Structure formats: structure tokens, C-alpha cells
Amino acid sequence: MIEILLKNKKSFKAHSVDELSVSELEFQVMQFTDYTNAELSWLEQNYGLDFKIMKHFEDIEISSHFLENENQAAFHFSIPYHNTEKNMVEEPLFIIVSQTGLFLFMSANLDVYFNDMYPAKINSLQRINDMDGIFKFQFEFISDYFADITESLSRKVKALANEILIEKEFSSNVMDIITKYNFNNLLIKEALLETTRVLRLYIKSDWEKHVELRESVRTELNDLDVISDYIQFNFDRLDDLRENVSNKIDLEQNHIFKMLTVVTVCISLPTFIAGVYGMNFEYMPELKFPFGYPIVLVAMICSAILPFIYFKRKKWL
């Protein structure tokens, strides 16, 4: 799917590049969703775009995240988001800006997610008059997105902390929840660091000398630094929650072990007495006592009650 924002602020969608005429297409933004090799070849032939960054975006080298030449500046951002199963995953987002216009490339899942979260995004773009403003909007949008997704996770962590620390209640799968939140926070942190690195490289690039968005990008970098502090705070809070839950589990296990110890002692002594008189030896003088049976019963009862009283005074119960 191709979504195009024209210079006259109108937008339309096309299913393939066969529906587009380059000579009649005056656009500002062209977005490709679930792009194909045929569409990339069409762009390469008609607009001279270089897609090296999209072919090597999984590499560690910085050239896989920011690449420029005299005709374009290409960016790769890893975007963490919640899929339909409510699990956080990463999808690549590519931005290529040239003298012709701005090109966006993303998956259909990521596009649907953005449209659900930011339904007024297209309307915001339509209010921007120049290409530099649209380019600036993309940086601001990514920064705001990281702020939103971090704030959403922070609310969940805070609610979990309230349940564990204040209400002192938690479910049996709370450690799984903490692990999930910690993983989500890690994905956001990694993507944020990568985005920060890309923006810092852009500030030093030759392309920036022509566009002159340095101050705007620095503002976004400052915002990302603040977001990074919140992410670190989430890590610290999750570590505290994990430790708190572990301590509570240890206390509960200690209490259970104490109860088992009390029960074992209270049962073992009467069992020992019953075992002695169940050995059936021929010469057992107690068997001839007239009150032997009630005496043994009393001894068994006392041997069960006395340890109970002892542990009660020791505050094990």
C-alpha cells in the first residue's frame, strides 16, 4: 500500500506503483507499507534513491542506521510497539529525505498501530507548508512516541508497585509480569539509544548544513535524555519490586517450613510412644499395668501439646 501526501495538501492511496505517474506526481510525503522489491526498484529508477541502509539495517555498523550522500539522507529507527497479542516487539522504520520529497517505509502492523494511536497524524502533516517542516515533524513524532510508550509502561509499573508495596497483594504470576515489563523497558531503552545516536550523527552531517534543523534536533535530544532517565527509573523500580516479591516469597516459605517443623514435632513424639508399645516384645512390664493404657494415652497427648505450647511461646505460630 502506498499513501501519498501531495503539495496541495491532498492525500490519496495507491495499491501499486503502476497506478502512479511520476511526471504528474507533485508530492511531499510518500509512505510505503509492506514495501516490495519492485517498489524499491521503481523508486530507484525514478527518484535515484539509495536503499543500502534498508538492506543492511540489522548490522551493527552505524552506516546501517544513518547514511547520507549528496542526494539523500537515510535513517533507520527501531520502533518498539505492542502487537495484537499485547506483546512488545520491534519493527524497523526507514526515512529517506531527498530534494524530491520525504519517503517512509514501514510494515503494515506498525502503520496500523500508529494510526490507532495517532489518528490525527495526517491532519498534522497537512498543516505543514514546507518540506523542512515535514522533515522536522518526523523527528518530533519519534521523540513524542518514545515519551508516550515510556509513560504508558511507567503507569503499568507504578500500578504494579502500588499493588505489591501498598496493598501488599500480588498474584502467583507477578514475577512473570515483572520480567515482561523489564523486557519491554529494555527494548525501549535500546531503541532510544539507537535513535539518540542517529540524531547526533545527523547533527554532524553535511545534509544538516543545508536543512538547518540543528536546534530543533538538539531539543529532541534533550527530550530523549529526559525519557532515558524515566526508563532507568523503571529499571530501578522493577528491580525493587522483584527484590520485594522475592523477600515476601522467602518469608512465606520460612513460615511454611516453621509450620511443617511444628507439625512434625507434635506428631513424631506420640508416634514414637505408639511405636515403642507396638513392638510386641514378650517382656514389657508396662503391658501388665492396670492403668498402662490410659497412662500411655495421656503421655501421647502431652507429647503433642507441650511442643505446641513451646513453639507458640517462641512465636513460631
Task: Compute the distance between CA of residue 28 and CA of residue 6 in angstroms, rounded to an integer.
Answer: 6
Long-range contacts of 154-159 (CB under 8 A, 24+ apart): 154/230, 154/233, 154/234, 156/181, 157/181, 157/234, 157/237, 157/238, 157/241, 158/237
Average pLDDT for 67-74: 85
**pLDDT tens-place string over residues 202-258:** 888 887 777 777 888 888 889 899 999 999 998 888 888 888 777 777 767 777 777
> Is the CB of residue 101 less than 8 Å from the CB of residue 29?
yes
Give strand ranges (E) for the chain.
2-6, 11-14, 27-33, 66-68, 72-82, 88-98, 102-106
Q: What is the DSSP string of 110-155?
A: HHHHHHHH-TTHHHHHHT--SHHHHHHHHHHHHHHHHHHHHHHHHH
Supply the pLDDT for residue 185: 92
More confident residue, 303 or 229: 229
> Is the CB of residue 76 less than 8 Å from the CB of residue 57?
yes
* Domains contained in the chain, CATH given: 1-117 (3.30.460.20), 251-313 (1.20.58.340)
Supply the pLDDT for residue 251: 66
What percent of the chain clears pLDDT 70, i.e. is strictly above it? Answer: 92
What's the order of all strands across the beta sheet hosting 72-82? 11-14, 2-6, 27-33, 102-106, 88-98, 72-82, 66-68
Mean pLDDT, all residues of the chain:
82
- Looking at mean pLDDT, say which of 14-18, 25-29, 71-75, 290-294 comes out highest: 71-75
Count other Cβ atoms within 10 Å, centred on residue 133. Answer: 14
- Looking at mean pLDDT, say which of 43-47, 147-151, 307-311 comes out highest: 147-151
Torsion from C-alpha of 35, 15, 139, 148, nearest 10 degrees: -90
More confident residue, 167 or 270: 270
DSSP state of 163: I
The answer on pLDDT for 62 being more than 60 is: no
Supply the pLDDT for residue 9: 74
Count other Cβ atoms within 10 Å, centred on residue 164. Answer: 20
Task: Compute the distance between CA of residue 146 and CA of residue 140 in angstroms, rounded to an integer.
Answer: 10
Supply the pLDDT for residue 149: 92
Annotate 264-287 with b (16+ C-beta within 10 A) or e (fewer).
ebbeebbeebeeebeeeeeeeeee
Q: What is the pTM of this model?
A: 0.76
Average pLDDT for 270-284: 78
Supply the pLDDT for residue 38: 87
Least confident of 79-88, 143-152, 275-284: 275-284
The answer on pLDDT for 189 being more than 90 is: yes
Supply the pLDDT for residue 14: 81
Strand 102-106 and strand 88-98: the pairing is antiparallel
Confidence of residue 94 (pLDDT cuts 50, 70, 90): very high
Place of cell 536546534: 215
Confidence of residue 150 (pLDDT cuts 50, 70, 90): very high
Confidence of residue 317 (pLDDT cuts 50, 70, 90): low
Supply the pLDDT for residue 204: 85
What percent of the chain clears pLDDT 90, i.e. is strictly above it? Answer: 9
Least confident of 52-66, 109-123, 266-280: 52-66
